[in-house]
Structure 1
Amino acid sequence: MSGLLDVRDLRVTYTTSGGEIPAVRGVNLSLDPGDTLGVAGESGSGKSTVALALLRLLPATARVTGDILLEGENVLEMKWGRLRAVRWVGASVVFQGAMHSLNPVKRIGDQIAEPLLLHRTVKPDRVDARVTELLEQVGLPVSRTRDYPHQLSGGQRQRVMIAMALACEPRLIIADEATTALDVMIQAQILALLRGLVEETGIGMLMISHDLSVLAATCDRLAVMYAGRIVEEGPARDVVHRPAHPYASALSAAFPKIGDPASRLAPRGLPGDPPDPADPPSGCVFRPRCAVVESVCASVDPPLWPVHSGADGNADRYAACVHVGPGPLVKETSAEETSR
């Protein structure tokens, strides 16, 4: 069991006028203090739904089942008062697009102070000093406390969001596409800031992004999601540079590689679109877009199988693909398909 976060068989279904839509289908994740876990995938893969489910921030139309254990306590079973206390103090979120998350008519100093006052994590006479500490921690001048969000640059606003997330010293930070709207220089600064905070404070960080290069440079481990499921999980650099699942391979190949003219001039894309979550294909959901599809894929929906073992003999990497699964199962299923 992880000491900080354990997500077990998480399933999220949205109720719509057209019926029920399964957005997340049996996700398992774990995170220890001081570690960083990245979650990657195309738009619609279920990344943000997982992030919002961790603190029960989903709309009322979402039905959530499974277990979300935050330091051993199930978030899904918390009463409202306890959940309210856990938000900001136990775990906090850095959302995408700070301009849409910050209050445009409140000064940033007041917005950073708000969670401190609500949760009473410092004495009232220490609030201003704590706000100053947080601004210095994220590299913003204290003089900006009286500014409004529109007076700051995109990178400065994102730093304010990070300061707010750190205000009550939570054990877990959830960064949902926190650097997507920023230029590459500011993005690098924000990522370096987040990495430094994890190393200095020992917090855990779950980072959501569609950018594999960002996650490879920031996270210890990486989980790749497709159609609401994790299809590969393991050490971040291994998943990016030596992917085992065809979908992870396609995502990695979609980014041109510096110094490789062939990939720059002809990056390999991924044909087709993600499946309709209300009507997924039979067998492996990635089958219609897969470059190495086999007949067995039409009938087998593979679980996460170990790809290889670490030095201590424990499996450290998994992929949901028949090509990495147990040979006998694939052969037996293929023979069965042939006999039909």
Structure 2
Amino acid sequence: MSLLEIRDLRVTYGAGAAAVPAVRGVRLSLAPGRALGIAGESGCGKSTLALALLRLLPPSARLSGEILLDGEDVLTMRWGRLRAVRWAGASIVFQGAMHSLNAVRTAGDQIAEPIELHHGATPGAARKRAGELLAQVGLPAGRAASYPHELSGGQRQRVMIAMALACSPRLIVADEPTTALDVMIQAQILRLIGGLVAEQDIGLLMISHDLSVLADVCDRLAVMYAGRVVEEGPARAVYSAALHPYGQALSAAFPRIGDPASRGAPRGLPGDPPDPSALPDGCTFHPRCAVALEGCARDEPELTGNGAHRAACVRVGPSAEGSP
């Protein structure tokens, strides 16, 4: 049984003629002890998807479909049940720890708070557990007395991960957890996250624009564009042999160690993702696609492919019209 199953999830902002689609018909699943990566440029719907998992979107958002967490639909939960599921069932590591942590409370107090609220622990027991969690993420227990401004960027990110683990959730959602960190600290945080998934048999949904980061941590990878999943498959296969032209462009945008050609001239992708309020007809990627066909401006393809690696492109699958 899947830990997380997303079925035809759709998220729009606003209503009526002014409704803007941010997530369009996403279907994904995640098993315990596995990691699923979500990649794409800014504006492709990644963070909206992450926030939708625990209904953290603003009131202007309209959601449909199903988000099954251990078989229970998050979208139909009553408020009391949803409040219990947050932290204890699933938790989020937000992008930018300095903006997520309370500047006037110590790290230990912020980690202990959900333990007191959700597990009914005494303040002393909660603070002891906070020290244990800090040690688990590679920080001295004494750092519990530190305020966020007294910690480095990597240390603050570790505090955020400790907070996410505070109530022993089954699922962790990590939204760009290594943004703005230097490469050495990024590598440490990624090893830490990957180790926690394996050791504690939790599920991880990790969001990033960097396919190489996701390929190092995740088992599977989904690429989003204009609110849809346009490619999904084994992380290494998507990174090294993407089927969709957009996945290929994302992979080629980062220089690779040991490859002089990519290091000297990494390829980019001209233009920007389309405005969600004015999506083009047909395949939403076709205005930027170097290998678009005539029919791409008319029909929006569904995910197809052989086996576990699929892409939403007319060049993929049994009826493919050519190869990129």
TM superposition score normalised by structure 2: 0.96
- 1:207 matched residue in structure 2: 206
Partner residue in 2 for 1:161: 160
- Equivalent in the alignment of 2:132: 133
Equivalent pair of 2:249/2:267 in contact (CA under 8 Å): yes
Residue 106 of structure 1 is matched in structure 2 by 105
Corresponding letter in the other structure for 2:310? Y
> What is the aligned residue count?
322
- Shift in Å, 1:258: 1.6
Shift of 1:25: 0.4
What is aligned with 1:325?
A: 317
Report if the CA contact (8 A) 1:284-1:298 is conserved. Answer: yes
Verify the 8 A CA contact 1:121 1:168 in the aligned structure 2: no
| Higher gyration radius (CA) | 1
Deviations 1:275-300 (A, max 9, x none): 11111111111000111111111111
In the alignment, structure 1 segments of 5+ residues that lack a partner are 309-314, 332-340
Match of 1:255 in 2: 254
Counterpart in the other structure of 1:334: none
Structure 2 segments unaligned to the other structure (5+ residues): none
- In the alignment, the residues of structure 1 paired with residue 317 and residue 286 of structure 2 have an alpha-carbon distance, to the nearest angstrom, of 16
Query: In 1, Cα distance between the equivalents of 2:145 and 2:265?
Result: 49
Query: Is residue 43 of structure 1 aligned with residue 35 of structure 2?
Result: no
Describe the SS at the equivalent of 1:230. strand
Return the offset for 1:129: 2.1
Whether contact under 8 Å (2:109, 2:127) holds in the other structure is no
The amino acid across from 1:297 in the alignment is C
Structure 2 counterparts to residues 1-340 of structure 1, below 5 A = 2-15=1-14, 19-120=18-119, 122-306=121-305, 308=306, 315-327=307-319
Shift in Å, 1:122: 3.9
What amino acid does structure 2 have at the position aligned with 1:167?
A
Residues in 2 aligned to 1:16 and 1:258: alpha-carbon distance in whole angstroms? 47
C-alpha deviations, 1:130-170, integer Å up to 9, x for none? 11210110011111111100000000000000000000000
Whole-angstrom distance in 1 between the partners of 2:263 and 2:212: 15
Aligned-pair CA distance for 1:128? 2.4
d(CA) in 2 for partners of 1:281, 1:128: 53
Deviates more, 1:16-25 or 1:316-325: 16-25
Contact 1:287 1:293 in 2 (8 A): yes
* Alignment partners' CA distance in 1, 2:304 and 2:228: 14
* TM-superposed deviation, 1:272: 1.4
Letter in 2 for 1:215: L
Structure 1-normalised TM-score?
Answer: 0.92
Identical positions, percent? 68
Deviation at 1:260, TM superposition (A): 1.9
CA drift at 1:3: 2.4
CA shift, 1:243, in A, is 0.4
| SS of equivalent to 1:327 | coil
The answer to whether the 8 A contact 2:131-2:142 is kept is: no
Q: Distance in 1 between matches of 2:17 and 2:181?
A: 36
Q: Report how far residue 127 of structure 1 moved.
A: 1.5
Measure, in 1, the Cα distance between the counterparts of 2:227 and 2:106: 39
Give, in angstroms, the shift of residue 233 of structure 1: 0.2
Query: CA 1:143–1:124 in 2, change beyond 3 Å: closer, same or farther?
Result: closer
Contact 1:297 1:322 in 2 (8 A): yes
**Residues of 2 paired with 1:243 and 1:140: CA distance?**
38
| Deviation of the 1:125 alpha carbon | 4.5
Question: Is the CA contact (8 Å cut-off) linking 2:93 and 2:172 kept in structure 1?
Answer: yes
Cα distance in 2 between the residues matched to 1:128 and 1:63: 39
Tell me, in whole angstroms, the C-alpha distance in 2 between the residues paired with 1:201 and 1:259: 34
Q: Please, what is the CA RMSD of the aligned residues? A: 1.5
Q: Give the superposition deviation at 1:17.
A: 11
Q: CA deviation at 1:124?
A: 4.7
